[in-house]
Structure 1
């Protein structure tokens, strides 16, 4: 009987993943990863409530539950990564790093050391093993697909992983299956946003971590000062809300300069400054370990965002027509059909004037 260590977060997806593994005959040990337990101003971290839900699920399934403290690794590789990225004017995807360094890093390594044959999570994705290779495919439920967050996980790590819910057609079915099994978590809301930030929001979290710095909001077309802000690191390319310019037309962030502490905006939603036909990548990772051949693929630049055709030329993605610019620091994930190949981090564009003269 193969032994599986299953990450059990107390949520719907991981609960059903554990239940399906038990039904499939695996020897399942559940693990609650305590990644973050710090309260934020106005927000109590719900980790203890989530652990209580995980404990109830484990009792219902008749499996052991262990609590593993991963907070040090999580802070160093996820929280500090997020704060540093924002401080340097980038907009990161912390879940991408969490999957690479914690769930398929620290957790997987400890589980294998304990004698696990596989590790499992509640991610929406599919793993296919054939011809001595392991492939990551998009989930059947395209709306919930999470391969966008798994692109930095290596083929070696995926070869020892199981993703049971990736084969289920939609989230409503997942909830129904949880209810049928009496797991008691089927009504829990989906997790949304950055887990450790919680309901306080990224702005409050960053202002708790980084020094508030008053600066100017500048019109991109003219260089005219329109208002002020508490720190250029709080804004991201394309952002519309939160500019607090006292009425007038809606404006969109064109770029930020964290060194000069300036945010550039435009009221023209079709401004050429908001579009690009090329994205340059850095820190590229490929699941197979090999850079795919130049050619045409599909790319996704945000979770559940549109899959667009693109031409890969080394570290450059070239679109057939202009698309909305992607904030530096975001992930661009490449697909060959339903196969997730890997991707890269979007680089800041160079040479773009801060405003037109």
Structure 2
């Protein structure tokens, strides 16, 4: 949007204290928007061995806001975040799924609670530091587009956000070609966060890791690690919910060849593994998706598209066949691909446009 068209438009921008959201706010101010920054306090609980960094992040956000001369509000979103992200993650792992909490956070908190409150407060737009782009076509059709920086592109995490919200969303860093350039632009503007490391992993888990978090939340259950090909017991574990398809580290089987998780059975509490990296059990010809969401509202026509099954993963050609029930789809690969853990997101693209996706079914 041009500076003349944007001048005076009110934007509530998420400001996490990180590099991307800081630059997003700066660019909005430079383009003439009336910007109110919002720090969403989603999680403040300390875990054993890990002090939550929310207060430090808030301090960084406050410094950025002062530098830019904009107001900063702190919104408490912890109740919504726990109910729709943390509890969702724990429940999914307990049932043998491997969830994407960032996908749910975007749907229910950042473009749910935050957007709803912002619009109710009179915002014309909301904005975040996501690496993505939005295009509004003639006739008001809204498209979610991959970012200029393909490696940092975050549309994989945005596929459950509806077109109604995207139509009123700004992604200022979506056109920036690289993270290095984002950092340079932050430094150039004196924002003071350009050297801050990227957030890595699940924010409320932090450096303790998902295993420690789950064992602090779910009941430890001793079970067997079983060789897929022979049924031989190779070792033991603290809960089948701790493992995911394709996992190699953390099996604690002593010496011998590296082994990979083929599947888990949380009901029987068994983890199946193989030492054969090319085992047919680690590959699949297609996927069944459940709980599908399509950004344009209508399902895409059956045909050939691209799919991404993990963030920064390759875009793989696939034939998509939407189900007749409106909430499922079948994907057929043109050559075998590594299996994807149930609960992960499979996101469908038509060229640069993110169409939507679904959760990989058991």
Equivalent position to 1:145, from 145, 149, 153: 153
TM-score by length of 1: 0.97
SS in 2 for 1:247: coil
Cα offsets for 1:30-50 (capped at 9, x unmatched): 000000000000000000000
**Equivalent residue, structure 2, for 1:120:** 127
Give matches, 1:138-217, under 5 Å.
138-217=146-225
**Equivalent residue, structure 1, for 2:344:** 330
**Equivalent residue, structure 2, for 1:46:** 53
Cα offsets for 1:205-260 (capped at 9, x unmatched): 00000000000000000100000000000000000000000110000000000000
Equivalents in 1 of 2:165, 2:264: separation in Å?
37
Structure 1 position 313, deviation (Å):
1.4
Equivalents in 1 of 2:113, 2:347: separation in Å?
23
Give matches, 1:205-244, under 5 Å.
205-244=213-252
- Residue 86 (structure 2) pairs with residue 79 (structure 1): yes
Equivalent position to 1:253, from 261, 266, 270: 261
Equivalents in 1 of 2:119, 2:45: separation in Å?
28
SS in 2 for 1:78: helix
Give matches, 1:259-298, under 5 Å.
259-298=267-306
Cα offsets for 1:327-355 (capped at 9, x unmatched): 0000000000000000000001xxxxxxx
SS in 2 for 1:74: helix
SS in 2 for 1:106: helix
Equivalents in 2 of 1:187, 1:296: separation in Å?
42
- Residue 30 (structure 2) pairs with residue 23 (structure 1): yes
SS in 2 for 1:91: coil
Equivalents in 2 of 1:289, 1:134: separation in Å?
10
Equivalents in 1 of 2:171, 2:136: separation in Å?
13
SS in 2 for 1:270: coil
- Residue 356 (structure 2) pairs with residue 342 (structure 1): yes
Equivalents in 1 of 2:121, 2:110: separation in Å?
15
Segments of structure 2 that go 5 or more residues without pairing to the other structure are 1-7, 323-328
**Equivalent residue, structure 1, for 2:18:** 11
Structure 1 position 122, deviation (Å):
0.1
Structure 1 position 261, deviation (Å):
0.3
Structure 1 position 130, deviation (Å):
1.7
Equivalents in 1 of 2:161, 2:257: separation in Å?
43
- Residue 330 (structure 2) pairs with residue 316 (structure 1): yes
Equivalents in 1 of 2:31, 2:141: separation in Å?
23
Cα offsets for 1:60-114 (capped at 9, x unmatched): 0000000000000000000000000000000000000000000000000000000
Q: Considering only aligned residues, what root-mean-square deviation do their CA atoms show, in Å?
A: 0.4
SS in 1 for 2:21: helix
Number of matched pairs:
348
Structure 1 position 157, deviation (Å):
0.7
Equivalents in 1 of 2:134, 2:220: separation in Å?
44
Equivalents in 2 of 1:300, 1:129: separation in Å?
23
Structure 1 position 129, deviation (Å):
1.2
Equivalents in 2 of 1:313, 1:36: separation in Å?
39
Equivalents in 2 of 1:4, 1:285: separation in Å?
27
